[in-house]
Amino acid sequence: MLLPLAVGLVARMAMTADRDGITVYVVPAMTDEKILPTTSISPDYVSSQISIVASPGEYEPASFVVRANEKISALTAAATDLSGATGSIPSSYIDIKLVKCWWQAKPDASKPWMRANAPVTGPGAPRELMPELLVNDPTFIVADQNQQNYIKQTDGSYRLISQDVITSVDENPKVSEMPVKDSPTLLPVDIPAGTNQQFWVTFKAPSGSLAGVYRGTINLTTPSGKVGAVAVELEVLPISLQPSMQEHAMFTFMYLVADSYATIGSSKSETQIKAELKDMYEHGVTTPCITEYDEADLRLILQWMREAGFTTNTLYYYGLYSLMDVTNSDPVRLQKLKSEVQRVVGVAAEYGFTEVYIYGVDEAPASERYLERPNYETVHSAGAKVFISSYTGTYEAVGDLVDLIVWPYEPLTDEAAKWHSVGHKILCYANPQSGVEAPESYRRNFGLLLWQRDYEGGASFAYQWVEGGNLWSDFSGSYYRSEVFAYPTMNGVVDTIEWEGWREGVDDVRYLTTLLKTIEEAKAVGKDTSLAERWLAELKASDLATKDLGAVRSDMIGYILSFSVGSSSAVTK
C-alpha cells in the first residue's frame, strides 16, 4: 500500500473525488514508492485538489492517479487556463503526461543502476514492472504479460526492445531503421477495471508572472462525457529565484551527424541535439560535458548550447579522450596533446567559455594515476584544467594536478576538505547513476546533500548511456541497466520520473541560494537574521533521509519572505 506522505508544499484532501466510474487520488510526485496498475493506494489520498507553489520561471511537479472502478475507455485529461486576481496563466504552461510502466531488469539491492545477479550471461534474469516513462501516447510503449516491451514506430508497427541478448556493442540503430517518436499531445487512455493510471503534471510559472493565486481545473472526460475533475491552485510567489550556487553537470554522449546517419543512440541529428540540450537546460543542468571532436561540429554544439540558454563559462570536455587515455612521456604525443588542447581552448573562448576542463583516464585506480602526470602537466601548459572520475587515494597521488575530481557514491566531507585545501573542486556522481526509478533519491542526493557535504555540485552519469545494445533496452548489458534520464527519439526525448526528481534537487539548491543571498542582504541593512541562520545550521547537520524535502522547501520560502517584500533583490514587489 502507498503510505501517506505530504504532497508537494500543500496537501489539501477532499473526500469528493470518488465517482461511480473512477476514484481520483492526488499522490506525491517526489517519492521512491512505486505506483503500479495494481497498487493499493491509501484512501487518505482521495482528493479533488492539487495545490502547487512556485516562483516565476520555475517548473513544479504534481501527480494524480485515476483508478477505474469499471472499465474506462478513451479517458482524456485536459487543463483549463488558470485565472486569478493578478491575471491568468494559459493552459499551455500545464503539461500533463501519462506515467508508463514497463519491464525493467531487476535492480541490484546496493547499486540499483546495475542488474541483480550480475554478471548476467543469458536469458532468464529477473524483471520488474516499473513506473518510469512520461509519455503522451499510452500505446507508444506496450509492456505485455510475457514481460516484454515493444515500442511503436511511425508506421504503426511495433519493435521488440526487451530481448535478453547480452552484448558489449552499442546497437545504435539508425532513425530510418527505428523511427520512433511520441505523440506531441496527450492522447486518450483506456484504463481496465480495477487498475490505476498515474498522471504526471508539470506546472511552469511563467517568467514575469505576477505573484498571486491562480485557479483552474483538469477535466477528466470520455466520449460519454465528464467523469471527474481535479481543481488546480497554483500560487506564484513574489520571489526572484536565483541561479544555483552549485554546478549541475551532466555526462553526455552526442556526436553530430547528417540526418541520414542519425541514430536512436549517440550519433544525432541537429534536431535531436537541439531537443536534448533544451531538455537538459529546462531540467536545471548547468554544465553538459561535451564529447564532439570535429571542430566544425563542436562549434555548432557550443552555439546551440548558448541558444538553449546555457550561460556557464566552464566547458567540461572529453573529446580528447583518445590522447588522454595514453600514459607515456613520448614528447611527440604530448606536443600533439598540447596542440589539440590549445585548439579546443581557442574554439571555446569564441563562445564565451573562459575555463576548459579536459577529462583524464576514466575511473583509473589511484595507484596508476601517477602515470598520467605528464598528460596533466601538458593540459595545464596549454591553458586548460584537468578533471577525472576517481577513487580513494587519488588526492594523495595527483591532487596537486587534478583541478576537479568527480567522486563516486556517497559524498564525503573529509574528501571534499582535501581537495579544497589546494583550491580544487569536487563533484559527486553514482549516487545513484541515472536510470533508477527513484525521484526522491535524486532530489535529495543531487540537491541539498551536496551542500551539506561541502561539494561544489554533482556530475551525473549519464544523460544517455548503455553498456551494450539499444538505449531503450534494460537487458543487453551483463552488469549494467540502461543509465538514461531521457530516452532518445527521432525528434526529441521521452523524459522519466527520476529526471523530474533530479530537477527538483536543482530547485531545492536554487531556493537555498536565494535564502543565503536574502540573509546576506538583510544583514547588510541591520535586520535580525539569527532565526534563519540557526535553522540553516540545523538543516546542514541533519539527516536528510529523515526530512520531508517538501517541508524543507516550504521553510526556505517562509524565511525568504519573512525579510519583507522589497527588502531583498530576491523578493519582488
Find all residues with CB under 8 Å of 380, minimum gap 6, and list them. Answer: 386, 401
Q: How high is the pLDDT of residue 165?
A: 87
pLDDT of residue 538: 98
pLDDT at site 417: 98
**What's the pLDDT at 199?**
98
| CA–CA distance, 324 with 508 (Å, rounded to integer) | 36
Instruction: Provide the residue type at 570 as one letter.
Output: A
For the chain, the structural domain boundaries read 247-512
The residue-averaged pLDDT of 100-124 equals 93
Reported as a pLDDT band with limits 50, 70 and 90, residue 18 is: low
Q: Compute the half-sphere exposure of residue 468: CA atoms within 13 Å on the CB side of its CA.
A: 13
**Is the model more confident about 2 or about 210?**
210
- Tens digit of pLDDT for each residue in 32-41? 999 999 999 9
In whole angstroms, what is the distance from residue 360 CA to residue 371 CA? 11
Q: Residue 572: what pLDDT?
A: 67
DSSP letters for 278-325: HHHHHTT--EEEE---SHHHHHHHHHHHHHHT---SEEEE-TTHHHHT
| pLDDT of res. 569 | 67
Question: What are the C-alpha distances in Å from 352 to residues 298, 345, 357, 425?
Answer: 14, 10, 14, 21
HEC letters along 439-467:
HHHHHHHCCHHHHHCCCCEEEECCCEECC
Apex 339 CA angle, 335 and 344, nearest 5: 145
Tell me what the pLDDT averaged over the chain comes to: 94
CATH number of 247-512: 3.20.20.80
pLDDT digits (tens, 9 = 90+) for 386-410: 999 999 999 999 999 999 999 999 9
Q: What is the pLDDT of residue 526?
A: 94
Backbone angles phi, psi at 295, to 5 degrees: -65, -45
Whether the model pTM is above 0.85 = yes
How many Cβ atoms from other residues are within 10 Å of residue 478's Cβ?
16
Count Cβ neighbours within 10 Å for each residue of 68-82 and write b for 16 or more, e otherwise: beeebeebebebeeb
- How many helices (DSSP H) and strands (DSSP E) are in the chain? 12, 29
C-alpha cell at 454: 561541502
Grid cell 496563466 is found at 89
Report whether pLDDT(156) > 70: yes
Query: What is the arithmetic mean of pLDDT over 49-77?
Result: 98
Task: Please report the pLDDT score of residue 325 as a whole number.
Answer: 94
**Per-residue pLDDT at 328:** 87
Band of the pLDDT at 456, cuts 50, 70, 90? Answer: very high
- Whether pLDDT at 9 is above 60: no
Which of 101-115, 121-135, 182-196, 254-268 has the least mean pLDDT?
A: 121-135
For residue range 470-505, list pLDDT tens digits in order. 999 999 999 999 999 999 999 999 999 999 999 999
Distances in whole angstroms, Cα of residue 98 to Cα of each of 47, 199, 201, 497: 19, 5, 9, 11
Is residue 213's pLDDT more than 80?
Answer: yes
Query: Is 68 within 8 Å of 191 (Cβ atoms)?
Result: yes
Angle at Cα 281 formed by Cα 310 and Cα 489, nearest 5°?
125
pLDDT at 7 over 70: no
For 367, half-sphere exposure in the C-beta direction (CA atoms, 13 angstrom radius) is: 0
Residue type, 398: V
Q: Region 92-99: what's the mean pLDDT?
A: 98
**The pLDDT of residue 8 is above 60:** no
**Cα 512 from Cα 251, distance rounded (Å):** 25
Q: What is the pLDDT of residue 566?
A: 52
Residue bearing the bigger pLDDT, 125 or 84: 84
C-alpha separations of 320 from 5, 126, 350 in Å: 47, 39, 19
What tens digit of pLDDT does each residue of 266-293 get?
999 999 999 999 999 999 999 999 999 9
> What integer is the mean pLDDT of 132-161?
98
Which of 32-36, 53-57, 119-123, 174-178 is predicted with the least confidence, judged by mean pLDDT? 119-123
Residue 469 has pLDDT above 70, yes or no: yes
Contacts made by residues 113-116, CB under 8 angstroms, sequence distance 24+ = 113/430, 113/432, 113/433, 113/434, 113/435, 113/436, 113/480, 113/481, 113/483, 114/479, 114/480, 114/481, 115/474, 115/477, 115/478, 115/479, 115/480, 115/481
